[in-house]
């Protein structure tokens, strides 16, 4: 059976002698796996479509649970992301979150559109603000959104991954500047902070993702 799906390549791995297996986030079916045949050969027509960040219109042949990409038409490759080290790191964080947290074969159109918007914002705007904004909205879509109604000493509850004003055995105090930065981005307030505060905010959100989704995302190691 032939399928036509719009999707973003998240990651590929080598498969057999000349093939690759890809994790692709699609508009129509969410997260899927697909095989690219012969793309490790020098003149393979689909070689360029196996790179992360490629957004394309894919034609796939589906046989049982196996999908094979037979042709593709490029929509965007987010070249502005891969041209910058900082933007590349932030872009990979977005891809890593999608690939590691979303279930396979479940339509997630809202998250798909959020991902496209985030990648475009990373490419064209401040990459760290765009990444923090993506993470907050992703958590909201999962029904695990954070509350930002605290003003004094702020703690992170290491059991729930939520902010609290209560100091407990399982809570850790967080820098109020970091909390305020995340809160302002959540509320779409313009922010001007030192780069180190952005990095601290991303590391804090990594901890929150770990608590809420039980995943350790390797892409955050480069922040």
Q: What are phi and psi of 205, to 5 degrees?
A: -65, -30
Q: Taking a C-beta distance cutoff of 8 angstroms, is the pair 52, 99 a contact?
A: no
DSSP 21-84: EEEEEETTTEEEEEEETTTTSTT-TTGGGGSTT-EEEEEEEEETTEEEEEEEEEEE--HHHHT-
CB atoms within 10 A of CB 108: 19
Return the CATH number of 85-222, one of 3.30.70.330, 1.10.3720.10, 1.20.1440.120, 3.20.10.10. Answer: 1.20.1440.120
pLDDT per position as a tens digit, 6-48 = 999 999 999 988 999 999 999 999 999 999 999 999 889 999 9
Cα–Cα dist 146/156, whole Å: 11
How distant, in Å, are the alpha carbons of 11, 25, 154, 172 from that of 101?
Answer: 14, 12, 27, 25
What's the maximum distance between 2 C-alpha atoms anywhere in the chain? Answer: 61
CATH topology of domain 2-76: OB fold (Dihydrolipoamide Acetyltransferase, E2P) (2.40.50)
Cβ distance 164 to 171 under 8 Å? yes
- What pLDDT is attached to residue 75? 98
pLDDT at position 195: 77
Check residue 145 and report its DSSP letter. Answer: P
Q: Where exactly does CATH 2.40.50.140 map onto the chain?
A: 2-76
Own/partner pairs for 186-195, CB < 8 Å, 24+ apart? 186/133, 186/136, 186/146, 186/148, 187/148, 191/129, 195/128
Which pLDDT belongs to residue 213?
97
Specify the domain boundaries for CATH 1.20.1440.120 within the chain. Answer: 85-222
Q: How many CB atoms neighbour CB 22 within 10 A?
A: 26
- Asked if 58 and 34 touch (Cβ cutoff 8 Å), the reply is yes
Q: What is the pLDDT of residue 96?
A: 98
- Comparing CA positions, the residue from 86, 130, 99, 107 lying closest to residue 223 is 86
Whether residue 46 contacts residue 39, with contact meaning beta carbons closer than 8 Å, is answered with yes
**Residues of the chain with confidence (pLDDT) below 50:** none
pLDDT at position 64, please? 84
Structure tokens at 150: 């605290």
């Amino acid at each position: 059976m032939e399928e036509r799906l719009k999707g973003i390549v998240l990651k590929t791995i080598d498969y057999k002698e000349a093939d690759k297996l890809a994790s692709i986030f699609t508009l129509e079916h969410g997260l899927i796996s697909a095989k690219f045949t012969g793309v490790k050969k020098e003149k393979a027509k689909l070689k360029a479509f196996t790179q992360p960040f490629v957004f394309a219109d894919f034609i796939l042949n589906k046989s049982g649970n196996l999908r094979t990409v037979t042709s593709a038409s490029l929509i965007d490759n987010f070249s502005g992301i891969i041209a910058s080290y900082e933007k590349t790191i932030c872009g990979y964080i977005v891809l890593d979150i999608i690939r590691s947290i979303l279930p396979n074969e479940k339509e997630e159109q809202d998250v798909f559109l959020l991902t496209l918007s985030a990648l475009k914002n990373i490419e064209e705007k401040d990459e760290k603000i765009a990444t923090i904004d993506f993470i907050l909205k992703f958590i909201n879509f999962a029904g695990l959104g954070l509350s930002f109604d605290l003003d004094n000493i702020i703690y992170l509850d290491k059991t729930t991954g939520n902010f609290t004003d209560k100091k407990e055995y399982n809570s850790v105090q967080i820098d109020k500047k970091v909390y305020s930065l995340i809160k302002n981005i959540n509320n779409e307030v313009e922010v001007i902070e030192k780069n180190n505060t952005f990095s601290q905010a991303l590391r804090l959100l990594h901890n929150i993702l770990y608590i809420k989704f039980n995943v350790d995302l390797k892409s955050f190691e480069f922040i």
